[in-house]
Structure 1
Amino acid sequence: MSSTRLPPRPLLVLRSALFSLVMITTVLVFAPLVVLMVPFPFEWRYAVATRWARLNLRWLKLTCRLGYEVEGRENIPTRASIVFSKHQSAWETLALQEIFPPQVWVLKRELLWLPFFGWALALLEPIAIDRKAGRKAVQQLVDQGCRRLEKGRWVVVFPEGTRVAPGTRGRYRIGGAVLAERSGALVVPVAHNAGEYWRRRAFIKYPGTIRVVIGPPIETRGKTAQQILAEAEKWIEATMEKITTLG
């Protein structure tokens, strides 16, 4: 991303401020709305919550001139599967909701304690784990993940666990692969370069087009968790080398 192609910094700040203002404001509207829908089925609550994500993706494109394109949609299976996604930004937490079928997320259970926002998250039935529990956390992921998959819901996993900068990789963790081994669900690897435009812990969003690449599903039956994780990591990181433009 050459600095000569970027708008003046004051304009970038203004656009990013406008985006953030609406994003925060809409959370204050949608989170209580989801909470009020507690008597209704999951599908209804999820539909309302994803409207928030879609609204903000469109607002992001309008204000910050930041859009995205997807390659490999034909690789999305027809049955509930496990998404292994690269994690560089807050952007993918919005976009994966638009790209894939109804899904649940693996997250730390402390998030569910936040007023309204956390309560709304809880009503979307995420896989909430205690990260301090060590091996028990993996079992929590497996137990809850298998139940979600049986209900026909996709499971989104960020195997690196935390956001990483463009051009780098984190340590791929075994939990999602153990779920894949135990459940027999397909693993769908996803690579993207969102971190080049919406950087971790950064306020400014840069204009451009994020590339998202969905890989061929990885068959998990008859494979160990280590084999599944290694296969997913190899595909994701090889694809990242092709689409990353910043070091």
Structure 2
Amino acid sequence: PCVFLAKHQSAWETLAFQVILPPHVMVIKRELLWIPFFGWGLALMSPIAIDRGAGMRSLKQILEQGKQRLGSGFGVVIYPEGTRMTPGKRGKYQTGGAWLAVRAGVPVVPIAHNAGYLWPRNSFVKRPGHVTVSIGPPIATEGRRPDAVIDQASAWIEAECERLGDARQSPLP
């Protein structure tokens, strides 16, 4: 098991990661569970549903429930910027996922993609194109500080997102 730290640009990755990644749970804002049909389906995936306004209580919940899920053989997907970001924009990377990985003694695996160009944030419009997902090399956490881990992961994610570019310009295979 590992902690996946992924760029969050759209709803696409929330759906696609269910197929792309090995068995895992996601850390989500609890409000998503209140959305009719979508939230009910999401609840069946046993996410770690946090109150983003709860500060240290949320971190404690991520650490406790995350370690339990990792111990059961599941990976944990965290979007460290905490919300969907428009392609080309960078949010503040929170350290909760790095703390979980360090405390649990598991690696962090960074994930970049360009889905936000095709499934824009806050838009029902879907554009044609080819989404590329790039899964980075595992980042060891043993003996490291969480801030150093998140710095390394965020640098890789942002550089890789830039390298992937605009999915609307990608030729289809």
TM-score by length of 1: 0.64
Instruction: Report how far residue 207 of structure 1 moved.
Output: 0.9
Alignment match, 2:159: 238
RMSD: 1.6
CA distance in 1, matches of 2:34, 2:84: 22
Aligned residues: 167
Identity fraction in percent: 54
CA distance in 1, matches of 2:24, 2:36: 22
Alignment match, 1:124: 45
Distance change >3 Å, CA 203–CA 138, structure 1 → 2: same
1:192 to 108, 113, 116: 113
| Greater C-alpha Rg | 1
Alignment match, 1:110: 31
Unaligned runs of 5+ in 1: 1-79
Q: Say whether 1:86 aligns with 2:7.
A: yes
Q: How does 1:132-147 map to 2 (within 5 A)?
A: 132-147=53-68
Distance change >3 Å, CA 221–CA 212, structure 1 → 2: same
Q: Say whether 1:224 aligns with 2:130.
A: no
CA distance in 2, matches of 1:93, 1:174: 20
CA distance in 1, matches of 2:119, 2:132: 13
Alignment match, 1:37: none
Question: Structure 1 stretches (4+) deviating beyond 4 angstroms?
Answer: 113-117
SS of residue paired to 2:132: strand
TM-score by length of 2: 0.90
CA distance in 2, matches of 1:223, 1:199: 35
Whose helix fraction is larger, Structure 1's or Structure 2's?
Answer: 1
Instruction: Report how far residue 121 of structure 1 moved.
Output: 3.0
Q: Which amino acid aligns with 1:86?
A: K
Q: Say whether 1:168 aligns with 2:74.
A: no
Instruction: Report how far residue 126 of structure 1 moved.
Output: 1.0
CA distance in 2, matches of 1:104, 1:122: 11
